[in-house]
Homo-oligomer: A and B are copies of this chain.
Amino acid sequence: MRVSIKDIAKAAGVSHSTVSRALSDNPLVSTETKERIQRLAREMGYSPDAQARSLVMGRTQTVGVVVTTLADPFIADVLQSIENTAQSHGYCVILASSNADPDREIAAVKMLHSQRVDGVLVLSSRVGALYQDHLDSLAVPVVLLNSHSEQRGLYTFSVGVDNLGGGYTATAHLTAAGHRRIAYVRGAAEHSNDLARFGGYRRALNEADIEFDPALVVPGTGGADGGEQALPVLLELPKQATAAFCYNDMTAIGLLRAARRKGVSVPGDLAVVGFDDIPLASYVEPSLTTVAQPTGEMGERAMKMVLDLLVEGGKNGGDVANIVVQGALVVRMSSGALRLPGAMESDRGKG
């Protein structure tokens, strides 16, 4: 049988209100009875009922996290960090995955609504107008993490990496090494992340007094296939590129793979830099120079943002409260660095 405060009250010969007070360490209870009750509760295996508590408190101490897919290691890492932060603040995480399917997205939001979560975090999604409306109807703080939103929500804030700065850093690393013919392999068309990273690329070129050549911008997909398809395009250029900055690591890895097949030496013939620093990046051959997204920091800051908004009301009042974190350049072999690759950085995938 499940033991409630009433059971404890009976056993202790007091009223259930006294038990409630004793368990919440209310100073209005004599130390003696307090201790007696707390001991009793422990002995009887009492566990407070969060549902009942939320009902009367109006707070569930719960946040919802909507992810597109857990197969993406970036998302998994951020989620891990969110969960850690939530846990250490006494919050628990309800997980909902959408597979980027609009129907499931709104189903997820409805579910979180019914669960009366105190806040919501949305990871790596494209938040359309309809989705945004549903999020708004929750009337709880919403933090978009690495997400692209078409429309500003009433309760919506965001955390993301500085894509422009990252693109700049990556490209500047190549110009500093003396490259002047630097290609940019794009991600999915018209994605704001892609646009921003591209902007950083152009700024770095500009700063190095390199004239921008549209021919050096080749389309991609955001996946490895995009990088593979980019190589032949690069090879057919009248004036060869000596380096390529790719929208993300998967694109870069596709490029690496294609290069190996064609006998193009990396970094000898072509230096390559990616973006994200997924686990794969340190294992490919040559290991990939890239801009690391601070997943841990992003998850933690996003979760703390929700927590803050919970105490401050949390309605978005015009003043933008969006956080931009900085990526860090991780220099490995693919960009022509001379130093040895770092030690193995993880032992993921133990079976």
A307 at the interface (CB under 8 A from B): no
A73 at the interface (CB under 8 A from B): yes
Cβ contact within 8 Å between B60 and A71 = no
A52 at the interface (CB under 8 A from B): yes
Cβ contact within 8 Å between B71 and A283 = no
Instruction: List residues of chain B with CB within 8 A of the CB of A73.
Output: 71, 73, 76, 348-349
Per-residue interface assignment for chain A, residues 262 to 304, with 1 indicating a CB less than 8 Å from any chain B CB and 0 otherwise: 0000000000000110111001110000000100000000000
Cβ contact within 8 Å between B249 and A349 = yes
Residue of B nearest to A194 (CB): B351
A324 at the interface (CB under 8 A from B): no
A110 at the interface (CB under 8 A from B): yes
Rounded to whole angstroms, the CA-CA distance of A95 and B92 in the bound complex is 7
Per-residue interface assignment for chain A, residues 9 to 37, with 1 indicating a CB less than 8 Å from any chain B CB and 0 otherwise: 00000000000000000000000000000
Rounded to whole angstroms, the CA-CA distance of A87 and B103 in the bound complex is 13
Identify 10 new A-B residue pairs, CB closer than 8 A, beyond the known A48-B114, A72-B348, A248-B350.
Answer: A50-B116, A51-B115, A73-B348, A87-B111, A94-B94, A223-B350, A224-B344, A250-B350, A276-B351, A280-B348
Q: Interface residues, chain A, CB within 8 Å of chain B?
A: 45, 47-52, 54-55, 60, 65, 69-74, 76-77, 79-80, 83-84, 87, 92-97, 99, 104, 107-108, 110-111, 113-116, 137, 146, 187-188, 193, 221-225, 228, 247-250, 253-254, 257, 260, 275-276, 278-280, 283-285, 293, 344, 346-351
Instruction: Report the 4 A-B pairs with minimum CB-CB distance, sorted nearest first.
Output: A223-B347, A248-B351, A276-B351, A278-B349
